[in-house]
Amino acid sequence: MYARTTTIRGSSQAIDDATAYMRDEVMPAVQQMDGFVGLSFLADRDSGRCIVATAWQTEEAMRATMTGSGRCGTGSRRSWAVGPRCRPGRSPSSTG
């Protein structure tokens, strides 16, 4: 399994908007992508910092979701997001 984390810094007052965007737009989009395993969304209401982690069956599936500019996500940004930073990586295997 492979995972990508994205850190987004935005307005702490817009966490509810960010949560709705992840639930209503991002999650349905990534669920349709080949190799998708899961998504986690963490938000700090005090700082406005959000972390999104997506899990993929293969490295190829994970990399296929990257845009040409190296940014992640569906390419859409909301006013709450200053800009995402992606960190793809391999998850440790539970089978050794």
Q: What is the DSSP letter of 24?
A: I
For the ranges 1-15, 41-55, 63-77, which has the lowest average pLDDT? Answer: 63-77
Instruction: Give pTM, 2 decimals.
Output: 0.67
Residue 96 lies in a domain: no
Query: Which domain range does residue 23 map to?
Result: 2-90
pLDDT in tens, 17-39: 989 999 999 999 999 999 999 99
Residue in 83, 80, 84 with CA at minimum distance from that of residue 14: 80
Residue 95 lies in a domain: no
Residue 79 lies in a domain: yes
Domains contained in the chain, number: 1
CATH number of the domain to which 86 belongs: 3.30.70.100
Residue 95 CB burial class (10 angstroms; 0-12, 13-18, ≥19): exposed
Residue 50 lies in a domain: yes
